């Protein structure tokens, strides 16, 4: 009797395909975890807008309340949320302060527009 119960527990602990929290379909690929509600979704419902995310609505309300109080609202990463070790501000500040870098970006943009014009003419 004990062996049968153990066998059932082992079977139930085997990895199963998870389900999309919105449409309940089996997730055949890697699940997408929403950063607002922490639920797992299929690729069709991975965006907060696509699964009517309650966490997103709550976050928007928090931000609206902060704006009404006159607080400055900026992007604040959540605890444990990483940006792949990149400091984007430190990377872009020198580029925006250098006149040569700005001229280079403008020349590159004009070249891209010219190429696209030639291709889709």
pLDDT digits (tens, 9 = 90+) for 95-114: 667 788 888 889 999 999 99
d(CA 121, CA 109): 18
**Whether the model pTM is above 0.75:** no
Higher pLDDT, 56 or 13: 56
Do 21 and 63 fall within a single domain? yes
Same structural domain, 21 and 76: yes
For residues 71 and 92, membership in a common domain is answered with no
Residue 109 maps to a domain: yes
Q: Is the pLDDT of residue 93 over 60?
A: yes
Q: Say yes or no: 49 and 25 in one domain.
A: yes
Instruction: Please check whether residues 24 and 74 belong to one and the same domain.
Output: yes
User: What CATH number corresponds to the domain at position 52?
Assistant: 4.10.1110
Rounded to whole angstroms, the Cα distance separating 92 from 99 reads 13
* CA torsion through residues 68, 74, 79, 80, sign: positive
**Are 26 and 73 in a shared domain?**
yes
Tokens of 49: 């807008």
Q: Would you say 37 and 53 are in contact if contact means Cβ atoms under 8 Å apart?
A: yes
Domain of residue 111 covers: 84-121
Residue 76 lies in a domain: yes
Q: Residue 90: in which H helix or E strand, if any? A: helix 88-97
Q: Is 104 a domain residue?
A: yes
């Amino acid at each position: 009797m004990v062996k049968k119960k153990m066998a059932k527990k082992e079977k139930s602990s085997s990895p199963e395909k998870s389900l999309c929290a919105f449409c309940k379909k089996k997730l055949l690929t890697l699940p997408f975890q929403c950063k607002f509600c922490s639920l797992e979704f299929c690729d069709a419902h991975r965006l907060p807008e696509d699964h009517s995310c309650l966490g997103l609505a709550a976050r928007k309300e928090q931000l609206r309340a902060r704006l009404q109080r006159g607080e400055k609202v900026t992007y604040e990463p959540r605890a444990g949320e990483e940006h792949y070790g990149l400091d984007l501000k430190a990377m872009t500040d020198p580029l925006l302060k250098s006149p040569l870098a700005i001229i280079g970006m403008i020349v590159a943009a004009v070249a891209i527009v010219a190429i696209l014009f030639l291709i889709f003419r």
